Amino acid sequence: MTADHIRELARRSGFELAGVAAAVPTADRTRYHEWVAAGRAGKMGYLTDRRAAVRDDPRHLLASARSVICAAKLYQTPWPHSTRFHDAECAWISRYAWGEDYHGVMRSGLERLEGLIRESAGAPFESRICVDTAPLLERSFARLAGLGWIGRNTCLINQQQGSWFFLGELLVSLEIAPDAPPPDRCGSCMRCVEACPTGAIVPGEGLDATRCISYFTIELRRAIPEEQRAGIGAHVFGCDICQDVCPWNGRALVTDDPAFAPRQFAPRLEDLAAIPEEEFRAMFRGTPLIRARYSGFLRNVAVAMGNARLAKFRAPLEKLAASEDAVVAGHAHWALMRLAR
């Protein structure tokens, strides 16, 4: 079993990229713990609790692991990037969340890949499938497996195909000669740093999640810091700006996989502000947007309306300001003040 053979089986399983890394601790684990210690993870407890130590070694997840097979699936669709879409009445949702929840898509592909490897291996082996819910430094292993380098925006970037990829891993007890990591090709480019509205990308330090629009609109369960709200713009779930402006994505391929086609492309803010909780759950069932939770989603919609500063948003914001949820009401009051100014 060779890495080239693995790549061929991965292509048959629906992945655009694949490679192999050794199942040993990576040097990045030190940088990760320093990042956590500096408070860059904010309130994301799953990155700082007991699972932080588990991320040090893939053998904590599979004791017999000898190789980490890394696979990447393209999710860029032909619809426009956020930097090329300007409609003050509409919300922006991160591209990765337009279609189905990628966890199921990736797991299905990795299960197909695992089955093909078992057919080819000629001997039994132990394995474990990981998507990003597993405590594994997956970008670090993807880099070691030759899939790309970790860019200044902290995304994995492939020289030929850009960064619009979901990552998944298959830990196996097979000994497979590993691939080599590619060189870092960000060079002196600072486009992602300069384009980030909230200053979340810190040169030399990486991503400060406590300033990131994706963190504010998805992970944070409380009030968004007032000084950061204006920078969020129309984003109601996640952000793609640092990928949208990346030169390596200028020639990135697009996928025709129906799983990633948008169910709701840039929905109208006024419509989102009016949906009851049951309709929210029905509309976004099976997509990543459920992670924001209903109250968090309305909070984000209120901020986007305040940033749009359209008079037509006064009535829906007044309704949100009367919400029993203190966080939603507080952000709606802030948005109404923005309209008044």
For 86-115, write each residue's pLDDT tens digit. Answer: 899 999 999 999 999 999 999 999 999 999
Q: Where are the alpha helices (DSSP H) in the chain?
A: 3-12, 28-37, 45-48, 51-54, 102-121, 138-144, 191-195, 213-214, 226-232, 241-244, 269-274, 277-284, 294-308, 314-321, 326-340
At 117 the pLDDT is 98
Whether 95 and 172 have beta carbons less than 8 Å apart is answered as no
Instruction: For residues 298-311, give the mean pLDDT.
Output: 98
Q: Percent of the chain at pLDDT above 70?
A: 100
pLDDT recorded at residue 314:
98
239: which 2 tokens? 């952000």
Residue 162 is predicted with a pLDDT of: 97
Domain map (residue ranges) of the chain: 3-78+99-172, 191-340
Q: Are 185 and 156 in contact (CB under 8 A)?
A: no
Going by the DSSP 8-state scheme, the letter that residue 304 receives in this structure is: H
Query: How far is residue 270's CA from residue 257's CA, in Å, rounded to a whole number?
Result: 30
Instruction: Report pLDDT for 221.
Output: 94
Tokens of 75: 């999710």
Residues 1-15 have pLDDT tens digits of 999 999 999 999 999
User: Which pairs with CB-CB distance under 8 Å and at least 24 residues apart come from 328-331?
Assistant: 328/295, 328/298, 328/299, 328/302, 330/223, 331/223, 331/224, 331/229, 331/299, 331/302, 331/303, 331/306
- pLDDT at site 195: 97
The pLDDT value recorded for residue 86 is: 87
Binned at pLDDT 50, 70 and 90, residue 133 comes out as: confident
Q: How many CA atoms lie within 13 A of 310 on its CB side?
A: 18
Give dist(CA 315, CA 322) in Å, integer.
11
Give yes or no for a contact between 57 and 63, defined as CB atoms under 8 angstroms apart: no
Output the average pLDDT for the chain: 96
Tens digits of residue pLDDT in 159-184: 999 999 999 999 999 999 999 999 99
pLDDT digits (tens, 9 = 90+) for 241-291: 999 999 999 989 999 999 999 988 899 999 999 999 999 999 999 999 999
Model confidence pLDDT, tens digit, residues 18-63: 999 999 999 999 999 999 999 999 999 999 998 899 999 999 999 9
Residue 325 predicted with pLDDT over 90: yes
pLDDT digit string, tens, across residues 190-235: 999 999 999 999 998 899 999 999 999 999 999 999 999 999 999 9
Contact 132, 51 (CB under 8 A): no
Interatomic CA distance for residues 85 and 221, integer angstroms: 28
CA distance 107 to 259: 13
- Positions annotated as catalytic residues are 132
Rg over CA atoms, the chain? 21
Residue 84 has pLDDT above 90, yes or no: no
For residues 95 and 240, the answer to whether their CB atoms sit within 8 Å is: yes
Contact 109, 150 (CB under 8 A): no
Q: How far apart are CA 145 and CA 337, in angstroms?
A: 51
Q: What percent of the chain has pLDDT over 90?
A: 93
Which CATH code, of 2.40.128, 1.20.58, 3.40.109, 1.10.3470, is assigned to 3-78+99-172?
3.40.109
DSSP string, 68-125: EEEEEEE---SSPPGGG---TTB-EE-GGGSSS-HHHHHHHHHHHHHHHHHHHHSS--
Enter the pTM of the model: 0.95
Is 122 a residue whose pLDDT tops 90?
A: no
